[in-house]
Amino acid sequence: MWQLYQFPLCPFSRKLRLLMGEKNIAYELVRENPWEGRDEFWHLNPAGRTPVLHDAGRGTALSDSQAICEYLEETVERNPMINGSALQRAEIRRLVALFDDNFYADVTEPALHEKMKKRIVLRQSPDAQVLRQMGRLLHGHLDYIDWLVDTRQWLAGAQLSLADLTCAAHLSVVEYLGAIDWKGHEQTQGWYMVMKSRPSFRPLLSEKMEGIPPPREYASLDL
């Protein structure tokens, strides 16, 4: 069975878990705090990042969340999430990168640093100025996601895809950290509630990061 090295608030691991949930692929969780820089973990992934998908029996260790998603798409046909024509697949991958690179750098990463890492690793208070700037950038990203929701059935087109899973993974981390303000973004909020109610999302909603309780609305499926 696959072992997934991750920590509960890693957005890239969440993206992968949502994909494995949609494709009904079994795995067990292995807790890994990449900031501890364990030698054994660096041996599995020299990039030092979660997730790593490890099959000790077959001696296979896959890393980089997008490389793993592409691997699972190629090897497990059920419920394809990078699907359609080459142009549609390019659009899915463009949005995945937009969330994993831009949204992460602007929003998820500062939220994790200020509200998780400073709390449980550095023992510092969050920087209000950084959080305000993050909020402004989040607002801009939500405007763009609102536009996608308004003009398409799902974020990348007519079908649920890895773009939806990736965006929902990042938003779920930011929501867990109490850093989302949905005001003016009812379209995206509605789409996100639909994503949250999928069975693939359930294991994420019940999981806690120690020392950081989520806000009450996090596990709720009501608007």
Per CB under 8 A, residues contacting a second copy are 46-47, 60, 62-64, 66-68, 70-71, 74-75, 86-87, 89-90, 93-94, 96-98, 101-102, 144
Cβ nearer to a second copy, comparing 73 with 114: 73
Q: What minimum distance in Å lies between the beta carbon of 49 and a second copy?
A: 8
157: left (phi over 0), alpha (psi -120 to 50) or beta: left
Count CB atoms within 10 A of the CB of residue 120. 14
Q: What minimum distance in Å lies between the beta carbon of 127 and a second copy?
A: 21
Cβ nearer to a second copy, comparing 85 with 129: 85
CB-based contact 44:19 (threshold 8 Å): no
Cβ nearer to a second copy, comparing 140 with 213: 140
Secondary structure (3-state) at 162: helix
Cβ nearer to a second copy, comparing 39 with 210: 39
Q: What minimum distance in Å lies between the beta carbon of 219 and a second copy?
A: 31
Q: What minimum distance in Å lies between the beta carbon of 102 and a second copy?
A: 5
CB-based contact 192:18 (threshold 8 Å): no
Q: What minimum distance in Å lies between the beta carbon of 26 and a second copy?
A: 18
Q: Is the dihedral of CA 3, 26, 211, 166 positive or negative?
A: positive
CA-wise closest residue to 139 among 111, 99, 180, 100: 180
CB-based contact 118:126 (threshold 8 Å): yes
Cβ nearer to a second copy, comparing 72 with 204: 72
Residue with tokens 């549609």: 88
